[in-house]
Amino acid sequence: MRRLAARAHFWGGLLTGPLVLVLGLSGAALVFRAELDEALGGPPAIAPGGPVRALDAVVAAARFSEPGGEARALRIPARRDQPYRVEVVSGARRVDVAVDPVTLRVVDSRVPERSLLMAVHSLHAGFHAGRVGAVAVGLLGLALVAESVTGLWLYGPSLRRRSRAARPRGRSRRLHRAVGGASLALGLVVGGFSRALFRRRRSQAQARDTRVRA
């Protein structure tokens, strides 16, 4: 039984390791999505000054740049040197229009689905495979749980009773056990912290978002 579990643990680690690396790197990028979006060429900064126009006027300016579109949301930035963002939907097409709230000038317009960070999000959520990929990510999470359980069972207290002389590979096994345990603990901490940070940023974004009915 232990030999079968050891084989499953070994091959499971080899198969899931690269996928976990992809999810970890893409997830780390998404945690700093706002900062990366700005660094990768977000909406240009505007010169703060003068009274801010009414929200209806900002929305009208955005809709004028996208004829026939419907304004779905208006995002007010935390900094005064950043433009307001209006989400305009026309059929299946969604456009984020950046408007200077003082001059009502459209300073930027982009389709979010074509952005690099949206591609990273699609990779993280489902390996660019839609619902099938999302199911694969869920199964990968279950596989990681199985890897942790089998690892704790195989390289747990039983190995501590084995002498170093009787097992020449004992040092590498102890290193594997230490790295595995530390990775599990670090994953739990980082996962909890990332989830809390994501919820906080989402609540902040929702607080800044003003839903607008056309």
The answer to whether the predicted template modeling score (pTM) of the entire model surpasses 0.75 is: no
Is 80 exceeded by the pLDDT of residue 200?
no
Q: Which pLDDT belongs to residue 191?
A: 63
Neighbours of 150 (CB within 10 A): 19
- Tell whether domain 41-115 is in CATH 1.10.357: no
pLDDT above 90 covers what percent of the chain?
14
* Average pLDDT score over the chain: 78
Q: How far apart are CA 39 and CA 29, in angstroms?
A: 12
**Nearest Cα to 78, choosing from 194, 204, 193, 198?**
204
Mean pLDDT within 169-190: 67
Mean pLDDT within 71-88: 89
* Phi, psi (rounded to 5 degrees) for 119: -65, -40
Q: Which pLDDT belongs to residue 209?
A: 53
Q: Which pLDDT belongs to residue 160?
A: 52
Q: What is the pLDDT of residues 89-132, one digit of tens each?
A: 988 788 989 999 999 999 988 887 777 888 888 898 888 888 89
Is 60 exceeded by the pLDDT of residue 210?
no
Burial string for 84-113 (b: 16+ CB within 10 Å, else e) reads bbbbbeeeeeebbbbbbbbebebbebeeee
Mean pLDDT within 11-18: 86
**Nearest Cα to 106, choosing from 148, 59, 150?**
59
Q: Which pLDDT belongs to residue 99?
A: 94
Q: Which pLDDT belongs to residue 193?
A: 66
What angle is formed at CA 114 by the lines to CA 29 and CA 121, rounded to 5 degrees? 30
Is 80 exceeded by the pLDDT of residue 56?
yes
**Residue 197: strand, helix, or coil:** helix
Q: What is the pLDDT of residues 137-177, one digit of tens each?
A: 888 888 888 887 787 777 665 545 554 444 555 566 667 66
What angle is formed at CA 34 by the lines to CA 33 and CA 40, rounded to 5 degrees? 85
Q: How far is CA 100 from CA 51, 104, 117, 211, in A?
A: 11, 5, 24, 18
Name residue 71's beta-bridge partners.
88
Q: Name the residue type at position 192.
A: G
Specify the range with the lowest mean pLDDT, choosing from 27-36, 48-57, 71-80.
Answer: 27-36
Is 80 exceeded by the pLDDT of residue 72?
yes
Q: How far apart are CA 52 and CA 157, in angstroms?
A: 67
Neighbours of 208 (CB within 10 A): 13
**Nearest Cα to 127, choosing from 208, 10, 41, 19?**
19
Q: How many residues comprise the chain?
A: 214
Q: How far apart are CA 9 and CA 150, in angstroms?
A: 6
